[in-house]
Structure 1
Amino acid sequence: SAQQLEYAQTIRTSAKHLLSIINDILDFSKLEAGEMHLEILDFDLYKCIEEVVDLLTPQADAKQLELIIEFDNKLPRLLKGDSGRLRQILLNLLSNAIKFTFKGNVKLKTTLQSETDQTAIIYFAIIDTGIGIPEEGMQKLFQSFFQVDASTSREYGGTGLGLAICQQIVSLMGGKIGAESVVDKGSTFWFKIEFDKQIAATPISEFQTAKVLECTPQELVVVNPKLTCKENIKILVAEDNSINQAVILNQLQMLGYEADCVTNGVEALELLKKQDYDLVLMDCQMPVMDGYTTTQELRHHEGNKRHTVVIALTANAMLADRDKCLEVGMDDYLSKPLEQEDLARVIQRWLPSPVEGGTSNEQHATNPSEFLDASQDVSDLQDSSPPIDLARLERISRGKVAIQQRLLQIFLETTPKDLEALERAILAPNPSLVEHYAHRLKGSAANIGVPAMSAIARELEGMARQQSLDGAKEMVASLWQVMERVQAFVKN
């Protein structure tokens, strides 16, 4: 029903918020324990900032805000440092500025403060026309778990850790951070960090790039983006669920990456022995050999010769699950269903970004019902309580009708087979197999946007994990009902 759909969407939003809180707490814990280490690598300052803008463009568009990016034309472009942590600081400060600004603009101003032949001190200022911060709040702004008032968390979300994390990362990078603000006028958050220059670093102006990149609703103006050096990034996706495979490969393509795909850990290890990959997206629950064992085998085989970045993919968002991933040698963690912005953020944290291909802010058709019937009114769909989360389908396809049709076709072909296998496992009875197939259904339904099916499958998976199948037949009947609604909805 419409009410159930609303509840499912609320649960999903709340889960994403909780995951964000967990990530903040983990980063803060690492910093407090002195376990966060910088990765000093060559990076392109222009590309780094452009990637941050790409990620935040939809957030600014949604509020009809101008997102202005201003460069000093004397900036050296090619630097050495931890670009992943720089992105994290910029994303946090810019997303805060957008969150607390309701009209006007948010500007990122980047200038060269001073330089030598080997180093450059870069000054970043995030300037907004938002609600501002009272003087008493400014004094505690960078304290852990601090928010300006008690209503901030309820109204805007967050943990009160973001600025504290930024301050500690800036300090770890040898820099300084501060802020100025006027209530009802806006705020300026700034930080400066000294970076080493790469050999023969070239000022941005010599690359003929714009001094100002302006992001307005439905438009992101970037001058001459093809000047970026070409990258040759190889990504391997290890995922047994065909729906999840299709969604992830499409998201990667939208971000400009090409990837190979395997369905279990044994196949992954065979490919990894034949060729080097820069990054592996590793599903934790796969047949034949799961992601945990595969990663352990990979690390044993690599020894000290090479370190392939492994990102865990799991539908379990608990802290213990993340710890398990890191313990076996995985580098990072993503929860299903994947959002393209989260996928982009994690890849950018570990790898340079590609040059060619789609971008995360690419504009396509925006009518969520277009893949069904161009003449059908959207309100009719809402009145009939569609079993598919059209907004989710729109996001993962970036509005491309052909992709929507292909994803739905795969779902309609594979899901009945999983349901039949689930029925056989219940009749056997085999709780382990029930858990396996319920997990598959939960993931594929969540990924394509069938929240009712995902919720029922999640409950069934939990029961089977406890070796209980009471009411399982009735739950499968409910899953078939949802499936029939999806089939009818797509057909009509």
Structure 2
Amino acid sequence: MSVQRLRWYHRLRITNAYGQLIALIFLPIMILSCVGASLVLIETARSSRAEQRNAAFAILARYQPTAQRLNLLLDQPQQHEKIRSILQNMLNESNLLRVAMIDREGRPRISFGYGSNLAWPVFEAHRETFGPLHSDIGTTYGLRAGYTSDGPVWLVVDMDNKPLQLARYRVWLVLAITGLLTLLLLLLCLNFYSRRWISPIYEIRLQLQRLSADTLGQDIQINGTGELRLLQVDLVTLLRRLHESFEELRQHTEQTEDDLRKTLDALEIQNITYRKARDQAITANQAKSVFLANISHELRTPLNSIDGFVNLMARKGNLSDQQTIYIQTIQKSSAHLLALVNDVLDFSKIDAGKLVLEQAPFDLEQAVFDVIDMLSPLACEKKIDMAVYYYEDMPRQVNGDALRFKQILTNLVSNAIKFTPDGDIIVRARLEDSVDDQHLVHISVQDSGIGLSGADRKRLFESFSQGDPSVTRQYGGTGLGLAISRQLVQLMQGKIGFEDNQERHPTDKGATFWFTVQLGKVAGDEMSWPSLDDWNILSCIQHPASANVLRGYLSQLEAQQQEAQSIPDLFGRLIPFEAQRHAHSWVIVDSGGDTEALLREIRTRYYGALAVYGYQMAIDPDILKRYDAVALYEPMSRSALIAMLQHEQLFSRSQPEFSGQGLHILAVDDHLPNLMVLEALLNDLGVEVTNAHSGIEAIEVLTLRHEQGRAPFDLVFMDIQMPRMSGLEATQAIRLLEQEWNTNQPLPIIALTAHALNDEKENLLASGMNDYVSKPIQIDQLVRILKQWTNPHHKSEQSNHTPDYLAADYPTAGYLTADHDSAFPSDESTISASSSNFYPDDFSPEEFYKPVSGAMQQELQSHILDWPESIKLSNGKADLATELLQMLVSSFAEEKTLLKVLMDKQDYAELEQRTHRLYGATRYIGLPTLQALSRAFEKLLADQRKSGVAINDSFIEDVEMYYQQLVEAMTDLDSEAQKILNPG
């Protein structure tokens, strides 16, 4: 639209003086004249009509009284002639054509004058006066003249329009004469303007058009006046000066041409000399390249011999420590020297033009990962994470020189590792274009290293050059790698470059090097991958790029994936993941940190297929074998991932087979439901169980058994928090009794705890306990504990607290020993993670550390009772789950009363014990809401006790709020439980 508007502007643009004069003066005057004439005509016509109207109504007003007196005669037709004779004088009025008296129906009752037989115009009957109205002979006006027997009557007249027309003609004549005079005046002004200004300008133009380089000195005729004459004089002076300057320039040009001719002759002579020198330099350079190629090739033979014999000496193994160090130094120096010679050889071949690229099919993905796997030990040594984004549009098979492709990628990746002190390296491989029979492949290597300064970038791809001279000393190298890579990329019809990561984002470090190469297409190179929609993977990888790669691969393979953001989050997901496990379930974890401790904790919750992601050098095969896991090496490839997931050994685990025949266990717990579940689980394993409801009762049972000379128990399960005597105190008392009895084999005591806090580790160790299990107790945990602590080999070593971390055929976890504090999870969330499946998906018990909001309370209403989980916690026994639920619900009335009494007494220590007891009871039944509330209530009371701060109103309000929420949860649970306990 704007272009079209601009085009019309150029068409309407007026550039000559006459056109501008007309456009700027004549046209505005004409427009103003037309507007003025129109206004005059309009006002004149309005004035004439007003004058006619006034005259008409004046006539009507004068004869209205007479017409009113004659109204009575209108009903008498014989009186019409008399009426006409009386009103005949009206025709003597000026410009009056005819007169009539008209009734309301528009019928003339009497009419006389010119054209009296013609029809009168229609008017509105309700008006007193009307007009002007157009009629066939003039303009009609009317005035009500009174009433007759059948209604009102109007006196109507027709006025002649000829006076109006004559007045209009007179106005037109005056306007025409005025316009003609104005036009003549404008023409005179135009003539004067033309002779005064325009004509001299045109004459100057014509004289300038006739000028040339030879006639600049000629005189110009001056015939202007005023300012225009001064302009002409200045123009003549300027032309004379130009003529003089032109003459000087001509002379200078002739002199310059002579000098240039002499210079060209001298340059021709010098070019001949330079051409001879260039030919000699090319010959010398070729000789140098041939020499370098030959000497580099000759150097490789003795170097290979040196390296081979050094390796033979190292393999004999009969060297002293000092000789071994010497041999290792020679190996490193030889390898470094051989790499330098190879670089020089490649550089000399390229420089001599003797390097010929091979064209053969090769696996592109395998080539990329061959390079990465080869260099991964260097990255592992520097603790640098690596990841490869190998996009799905990449071809499988290509035609090209695989060795040179790997050489380019090796140079870039090794440089990235060399110049990256910490952080990560990310390689991206994507298909940039695919036309005809060629693939344009784009490879980039992003590091988080020292980066590049602006001044060093220009020399980066030059031979024998590095970004900073000090870099050579600090990091080593000849500076040939990037130069060789650039030349190889050019031979492969591609490009190479780099970018500073800070230019992309101010907080990023390092640089990104990239290159593109042309590789030929191979028939049938389309990437096809299996569909793994039946696979279910739970992963926890700390490196974001590696996690993204795994997510992308699994999404492409249509596998189901859950991602844990942290180790506690992973532990929280393991038990529900184990519950839903099938033949195609996998858990993939990062090898960072204490891998053995991590796998140990995982195996307490999950028994299916397990993979550890990390560098090959960083993963201990013995640990993998010990915990029945496999390795997924960093960086991860799609092929390796598929091969691992489709491994024949699916690591399917059923419930560990174990026979507890002959074992006798003492179970100590003050809460009957806990004892019932523990006894049921142990009985299923064939274990005989003796129950004790307190620490004092446990000591009495043990003392009585010793006095009777009966065989001691094989193991004791000891609850931690019990009234009168806690589990810690009972354990210490048992250890003292063992010293008095001179027991050779200490009794294994296993702690039962709903949650183990970090500050309780030393207390558990100091009390003499050997291990612990978290409530709710699972059958796998019991099997592991029984295998560990009822094995005679382990019993012989219990006294020094150095247990083996493996049972006979199953990995153990979490042993409480002085030498293995790492057996404890790092925080409370880890310990209690085994019950995290009770909570809603987006809910954490930590949210209950403050009073639960109304919205959260409503959200938890749908998690009052999880009956399938209750049956699962009862080892699949519905009758046991029902009995536990019945016992818990029946205790609510007493529990509410006792909690209220303790609150009124402000006995918060006992209130904490009762809340812990309630929390422990909920661990054996699927009660997400009640479990979360009781746990949070307990923690509130424990935090207050540990802080030592005086009790304030805010704390009391929180306690009251928690109590109300517990009561509501108990009431809701009672209603839900009745549906199961009394289904009828």
Report the TM-score range of the alignment, normalised by the length of the smaller protein.
0.5 to 0.7
Contact kept, 8 Å, 1:283 with 1:313, in 2: the verdict is yes
* Cα distance in 1 between the residues matched to 2:605 and 2:670: 37
Q: CA deviation at 1:386?
A: 4.5
* Cα distance in 2 between the residues matched to 1:252 and 1:325: 24
917, 932, 956: which is aligned to 1:470? 956
* Cα distance in 1 between the residues matched to 2:896 and 2:660: 45
The equivalent of 2:618 in structure 1 is: 140
Change (3 A) 1:243 1:63: same
* Cα distance in 2 between the residues matched to 1:385 and 1:168: 43
The equivalent of 2:686 in structure 1 is: 256
SS at match of 1:62: coil
Q: TM-score, normalising length from structure 2?
A: 0.28
Deviations, residues 192-232 of structure 1 (Å, cap 9, x unaligned)? xxxxxxxxxxxxxxxxxxxxx99979x88x9xx9xx98841
Change (3 A) 1:344 1:490: same
Q: Does 1:289 align with 2:741?
A: no
Q: How does 1:210-249 map to 2 (within 5 A)?
A: 231-249=661-679
The equivalent of 2:974 in structure 1 is: 487
* Cα distance in 2 between the residues matched to 1:337 and 1:19: 18
Q: CA deviation at 1:490?
A: 1.7
Change (3 A) 1:269 1:19: farther
Contact kept, 8 Å, 2:695 with 2:725, in 1: the verdict is yes
Change (3 A) 1:352 1:392: farther
The equivalent of 2:898 in structure 1 is: 421
Contact kept, 8 Å, 1:387 with 1:450, in 2: the verdict is yes
The equivalent of 2:702 in structure 1 is: 272
* Cα distance in 2 between the residues matched to 1:279 and 1:321: 22
* Cα distance in 2 between the residues matched to 1:412 and 1:97: 36
Q: CA deviation at 1:244?
A: 1.7
* Cα distance in 2 between the residues matched to 1:235 and 1:278: 6
* Cα distance in 1 between the residues matched to 2:907 and 2:694: 22
* Cα distance in 1 between the residues matched to 2:907 and 2:860: 40
The equivalent of 2:768 in structure 1 is: 329
* Cα distance in 2 between the residues matched to 1:464 and 1:268: 29
Contact kept, 8 Å, 1:60 with 1:66, in 2: the verdict is no
The equivalent of 2:786 in structure 1 is: 347
Q: CA deviation at 1:270?
A: 0.7
* Cα distance in 2 between the residues matched to 1:388 and 1:94: 23
Contact kept, 8 Å, 1:322 with 1:333, in 2: the verdict is no
Q: CA deviation at 1:63?
A: 2.2
Q: CA deviation at 1:249?
A: 1.9
The equivalent of 2:583 in structure 1 is: 64
SS at match of 1:441: helix
Q: Does 1:448 align with 2:910?
A: no
* Cα distance in 1 between the residues matched to 2:569 and 2:615: 27
* Cα distance in 2 between the residues matched to 1:19 and 1:298: 38
* Cα distance in 2 between the residues matched to 1:237 and 1:255: 15
The equivalent of 1:370 in structure 2 is: none
Q: Does 1:399 align with 2:399?
A: no
**Structural RMSD (CA):** 4.5
* Cα distance in 2 between the residues matched to 1:385 and 1:257: 38
Q: CA deviation at 1:93?
A: 12
Q: Percent identity?
A: 23
Q: CA deviation at 1:413?
A: 1.8
Contact kept, 8 Å, 1:423 with 1:473, in 2: the verdict is no
Q: Which amino acid aligns with 2:724?
A: V
Change (3 A) 1:451 1:94: closer
* Cα distance in 1 between the residues matched to 2:681 and 2:607: 26
Q: CA deviation at 1:65?
A: 4.5
The equivalent of 1:98 in structure 2 is: 609
Contact kept, 8 Å, 1:422 with 1:433, in 2: the verdict is no
Q: CA deviation at 1:432?
A: 1.1
Q: Which amino acid aligns with 1:485?
A: D
Change (3 A) 1:278 1:408: same
Q: CA deviation at 1:321?
A: 1.4
Q: Which amino acid aligns with 1:284?
A: I
Change (3 A) 1:185 1:385: closer
Change (3 A) 1:435 1:230: closer
Contact kept, 8 Å, 2:608 with 2:652, in 1: the verdict is no
Contact kept, 8 Å, 2:662 with 2:687, in 1: the verdict is no
Change (3 A) 1:426 1:229: closer
* Cα distance in 2 between the residues matched to 1:419 and 1:329: 36
SS at match of 1:470: helix
Q: How does 1:21-100 map to 2 (within 5 A)?
A: 59=578, 62-65=581-584, 98-100=609-611
* Cα distance in 2 between the residues matched to 1:179 and 1:90: 18
Question: Which structure has the highest helix share of the two?
Answer: 2
Q: CA deviation at 1:331?
A: 0.3
Q: How does 1:361-440 map to 2 (within 5 A)?
A: 385-440=862-917
SS at match of 2:862: coil
Q: CA deviation at 1:402?
A: 1.1
Q: Which amino acid aligns with 1:183?
A: A
Change (3 A) 1:425 1:89: closer
SS at match of 1:311: strand
Q: Which amino acid aligns with 2:731?
A: T
Change (3 A) 1:229 1:482: closer
The equivalent of 1:35 in structure 2 is: none
Deviations, residues 313-353 of structure 1 (Å, cap 9, x unaligned)? 12232222133111110000122233332233223221259
Q: Which amino acid aligns with 2:874?
A: S
Change (3 A) 1:314 1:412: same
Q: Which amino acid aligns with 2:720?
A: C
SS at match of 1:399: coil
* Cα distance in 1 between the residues matched to 2:923 and 2:933: 11
Change (3 A) 1:403 1:169: closer
Contact kept, 8 Å, 2:748 with 2:769, in 1: the verdict is yes
Contact kept, 8 Å, 1:236 with 1:280, in 2: the verdict is yes
Change (3 A) 1:392 1:291: same
Contact kept, 8 Å, 2:666 with 2:691, in 1: the verdict is yes
Contact kept, 8 Å, 1:180 with 1:187, in 2: the verdict is yes
Q: How does 1:153-172 map to 2 (within 5 A)?
A: 166=623
* Cα distance in 1 between the residues matched to 2:906 and 2:659: 57
Contact kept, 8 Å, 1:59 with 1:98, in 2: the verdict is no
Contact kept, 8 Å, 1:340 with 1:396, in 2: the verdict is no
* Cα distance in 2 between the residues matched to 1:411 and 1:94: 27
Change (3 A) 1:140 1:95: farther
The structure, 1 or 2, with the larger RCO (C-alpha pairs under 8 Å, 6+ apart) is 1
* Cα distance in 1 between the residues matched to 2:937 and 2:765: 28
Bigger Rg over Cα: 2
Q: TM-score, normalising length from structure 1?
A: 0.53
Change (3 A) 1:393 1:229: closer
The equivalent of 2:737 in structure 1 is: 301
Q: Which amino acid aligns with 1:285?
A: Q
* Cα distance in 1 between the residues matched to 2:604 and 2:918: 38
* Cα distance in 2 between the residues matched to 1:92 and 1:389: 25
Q: Which amino acid aligns with 1:435?
A: E
Change (3 A) 1:252 1:229: closer
The equivalent of 1:377 in structure 2 is: none
Structure 2 unaligned runs (5+)? Answer: 1-563, 587-595, 634-638, 706-711, 793-858, 946-950, 980-984
Change (3 A) 1:90 1:288: closer
Q: CA deviation at 1:312?
A: 0.7
Change (3 A) 1:491 1:479: same
SS at match of 2:956: coil
